[in-house]
Amino acid sequence: VTSKIIETRVYDGQKPGTSGLRKAVRIFMQEHYTENFIQAILQALGEQLLGSTLVVGGDGRYYGKEVVRKIIRIAAANGVNKLIVGQNGILSTPAVSTIIRKYKTLGGIVLTASHNPGGPDADFGIKFNCENGGPAPDNVTNKIYEITKVLKNYKIIPDIAIDIDKIHSTTIQVDGNPFTVEIIDSVDDYLEHMKNIFDFSSIKTLLQGSNDHPAFKVLINGMNGVTGPYVRRIFSHELGVSESSIVNVTPLEDFGGLHPDPNLTYAKDLVDAIKNGPYDFGAAFDGDGDRNMILGKNAFFVTPSDSLAVLAANLNSIPYFKKTGIKGYARSMPTGAAVDRVAAKTGVKLYEVPTGWKYFGNLMDAGHLSLCGEESFGTGSDHIREKDGIWACLAWLSVVANLGKSVEDILLNHWQTYGRNFFTRYDYENCDSEAANKMMHHIESEIQKPEFTGSKLTSGSKVYVVKLGDNYSYVDPIDGSQASKQGLRILFQDGSRIIYRLSGTGSSGATIRVYVDSYEDDPASLNKDAQEVLKPLVTIALEISKLREFTGRDAPTVIT
């Protein structure tokens, strides 16, 4: 077959955000819109593209299969040699990262809008991951964006029809060169990787019980996202968890109407089931399988920032890290600083990077980083270059198996040793964009006034002294690349912090995020409710920002 050149028109706004291009499905469905973006990704790869192999898969959301077919047709016409595609178009984000690394491909295209709802009236997304398996860094996404602004045509072979639902391999001749599409099992490679990282038999003993202890009862919720087949294979087939302990494990195009975001608001089902049931542990994952939420008995909530710190302090529970050693820890800037305490006490280097997993990649590639996380329910390690929900759950089960304690006791002990960073994030979704931008400008001008430094901010009896206010910028220690305007920070003398950011993953309007982090080491405070403890700082955060005046919002959409 031969390729065709199709004339197209430029679409504005194909700028990848924190994690790829995310828009409403109907935007992606406009004539040529998706084709343009795929062509731009391929073109940005330059000469390396010819004869290359790429991985393709996604979270199973509506429109995904259609886009897989488009990618096959466009990749064939652009000189790609081989595509490795997940069966039914299904690959979790961590699985894509695993497969890129295992087969040393040039990269992969991930079809997901992560935790955003799916369906004809909801969202879709396309993300490019590089040969290290991680989300493309800014210089690559900028290149893609520049190409979308001038694209005049794309190349396609319109009549390639390959059944992506069956595991098989097909090779055709395109303009005289072979082009192969290999449809692979969605789970095999990922499962093999997990088995090499964790001690499955000790986790299995924990879950099934032994003479020493009763079975540790878990409830795993796939939120109708991509993790279904992975949960089934790993937890049910490999670890022997009963069918009734894995729920929402069939990927649905609209996630069954769920908002597949594992937090206390959108995974309330899991919270209620754990509260009312016999469970010792609960976990949920987002649409594309890179986020996780961990709960203990009675739905004891482990904040992602604490989760990172506890795993950091217990990496010796996981065989992988015994082999590799602990090279360093990292967190995104707004993430609660609990892991900093572990790093300081154990003499391990800690890195702070901007929001978004792409910023961890260079540090990992250079061998400086073993474990990292974000407050947004992202936890992961250098086993791949994405955050990894199922990995996080297995990591927690390894720690529980090793310590032989409940999740709550593990946390209490951790706080007794390191003190506690109370953390909360307020999200105001779908605000008017102009209002949100005005608010950010207002905050920035307030915190950059010279007299702001050293000023005292009070709420009730609490007084906080400002150490610094700025717009966070970052220089990558490996390649010197810079990322500026990554969030407005107010740092206080006692280590407390307030951070404001606009989301880079939404598909309409603006989402304002307000992050509050505060450290306590008074033993009497360790058990307190985070919302109680943080109330004064939250009040200050809302006052400085004039959030209510700018946006008209009285209350956040989601609190995590």
From 3, 19, 114, 398, the catalytic residue: 114
Query: What is the rounded CA–CA span in Å between residue 355 and residue 373?
Result: 10
Query: Among the candidate windows 295-303, 406-414, 471-479, 502-510, which touches ligand VG1 by CB under 6 A?
Result: 502-510
- Please, are residues 132 and 276 in contact by the beta-carbon 8 Å criterion? no
Near ligand VG1 by CB under 6 A: residue from 398, 496, 503, 518: 503
Q: How far apart are the first and last CA of the chain?
A: 53
Tell me which residues in 8-37 interact with ligand VG1 (CB under 6 A).
18-19
Containing 364, the helix (H) or strand (E) segment is: helix 361-365
Active site residue 114: yes
- Residue 201 burial (CB count, 10 A): 10
User: Which residue is closest to Co ion by CB?
Assistant: 114
Distance of CA 417 to the CA centre of its chain: 29
Tell me which residues in 41-100 interact with ligand VG1 (CB under 6 A).
none
- Please, are residues 447 and 329 in contact by the beta-carbon 8 Å criterion? no
3-state secondary structure 499-522: EEEECCCCCCCEEEEEEEEEEECC
Query: What is the rounded CA–CA span in Å between residue 307 and residue 292?
Result: 10
- Give per-residue burial for 124-142: e unless 16+ CB within 10 Å, then b: bbbbbbbbbbbbbbbebbe
Query: What is the rounded CA–CA span in Å between residue 534 and residue 498?
Result: 11
Containing 196, the helix (H) or strand (E) segment is: helix 188-197
- Please, are residues 406 and 396 in contact by the beta-carbon 8 Å criterion? no
Cβ proximity to ligand VG1, 282 vs 378, nearer residue: 378
39 binds Co ion, rule: CB under 5 A: no
User: Which residue is closest to ligand VG1 by CB?
Assistant: 114
| Interacting partner of 378 out of Co ion, ligand VG1, none (Cβ under 5 to 8 A depending on kind) | ligand VG1
What token pair was written down for 186?
């969605």
- Residue 472 burial (CB count, 10 A): 18
| Interacting partner of 98 out of Co ion, ligand VG1, none (Cβ under 5 to 8 A depending on kind) | none
Grouping H, G, I as helix, E, B as strand and the rest as coil, residue 65 is: helix
114 binds ligand VG1, rule: CB under 6 A: yes
- CA nearest 199: which of 47, 105, 319? 319
Cβ proximity to ligand VG1, 296 vs 380, nearer residue: 380
- Please state the closest distance from residue 429 (CB atom) to ligand VG1, in A: 10
* Pattern 111-130, Co ion, x by CB under 5 A: ---x----------------
- Please state the closest distance from residue 486 (CB atom) to ligand VG1, in A: 10
- Please state the closest distance from residue 18 (CB atom) to ligand VG1, in A: 3
Cβ proximity to Co ion, 112 vs 314, nearer residue: 112
- Please state the closest distance from residue 16 (CB atom) to ligand VG1, in A: 11
Tell me which residues in 339-398 interact with ligand VG1 (CB under 6 A).
355-357, 374, 376, 378
Tell me which residues in 267-306 interact with Co ion (CB under 5 A).
286, 288, 290-291
- Please state the closest distance from residue 284 (CB atom) to ligand VG1, in A: 13
- Please, are residues 378 and 94 in contact by the beta-carbon 8 Å criterion? no
- Please state the closest distance from residue 512 (CB atom) to ligand VG1, in A: 10
For tokens 């009549």, the residue is 159
Q: Where do contacts with ligand VG1 occur on this chain (CB under 6 A)?
A: 18-19, 114-115, 286, 290-291, 332, 355-357, 374, 376, 378, 503-505, 513
The footprint of Co ion (CB under 5 A) covers 114, 286, 288, 290-291
> Which residues are known catalytic residues?
114
